[in-house]
């Protein structure tokens, strides 16, 4: 049994093989892998005896599902009313243009995934950008690009975490 089928088997068993529990199974898969890998979706379709097109219809309908891996960093830009009025659309446009990535997408080099969200509850700091959980206030298009440029590349992060795991 391949690694993918093993994981799918494990997830499907959690839900007593109920195909009506397809969405929670896909959510679990995404938690395990960080996204929905093609091989795993094929295994899931086979295991539940449902069509692959049904699985892809679910995966593409819900914006929380990802069909490609996330970037090494999470960049979230607040598009709530206060941030919006203070320039977040211009910041979003500048980031998209500079790094060739749309909101909801990941850069080609997988450096970061970009999200545009509603109010993050820090309106006094508007416009707000959150990078890997850290809040940046009063962001401008220039400072946003500078902050993102200063992020360690994906390879460095992978190297760092593999070193941490060596005892």
Instruction: Please state, in angstroms and rounded to a whole number, the distance separating the CA atoms of residues 19 and 38.
Output: 18
Token pair, residue 59, equals: 């995966």
Comparing CB distances to ligand FES, the nearer of 81 and 100 is 81
120 contacts ligand FES (rule: CB under 6 A) = yes
**Which stretches of 79-133 are assigned E, i.e. beta strand?**
112-117, 129-131
**CA neighbor of 134 nearest in space, from 117, 149, 116, 122:** 122
Stretch that binds ligand FES, among 54-62, 103-111, 123-131, 146-154 (CB under 6 A): 123-131
Is there binding between residue 82 and ligand FES (CB under 6 A)?
yes
Shortest distance, position 139 Cβ to ligand FES, whole Å = 10
Total interface residues for ligand FES by CB under 6 A: 12
Contact 142, 103 (CB under 8 A): no
Residue 126 within binding range of ligand FES, rule CB under 6 A: yes
**Which residues make up the interface to ligand FES (CB under 6 A)?**
78, 80-83, 119-123, 126, 128
């Amino acid at each position: 049994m391949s690694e993918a089928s093993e994981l799918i088997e494990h997830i499907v068993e959690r839900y007593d093989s109920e195909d009506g529990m397809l969405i929670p199974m896909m959510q679990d898969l995404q938690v395990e892998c960080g996204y929905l890998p093609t091989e795993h979706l094929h295994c899931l379709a086979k295991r539940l005896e449902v069509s692959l097109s049904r699985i892809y219809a679910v995966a593409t309908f819900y914006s929380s599902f990802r069909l490609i891996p996330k970037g090494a960093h999470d960049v979230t830009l607040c598009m709530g009313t206060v941030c919006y009025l203070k320039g977040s659309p211009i910041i979003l446009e500048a980031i998209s243009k500079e790094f060739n990535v749309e909101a909801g997408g990941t850069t080609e080099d997988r450096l970061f995934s970009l999200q545009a969200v509603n109010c993050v509850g820090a309106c006094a700091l508007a416009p707000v950008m959150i990078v890997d959980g850290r809040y940046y206030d009063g962001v401008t298009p220039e400072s946003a690009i500078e902050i993102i440029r200063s992020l360690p590349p994906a390879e460095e992060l992978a190297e760092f975490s593999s070193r941490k795991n060596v005892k």
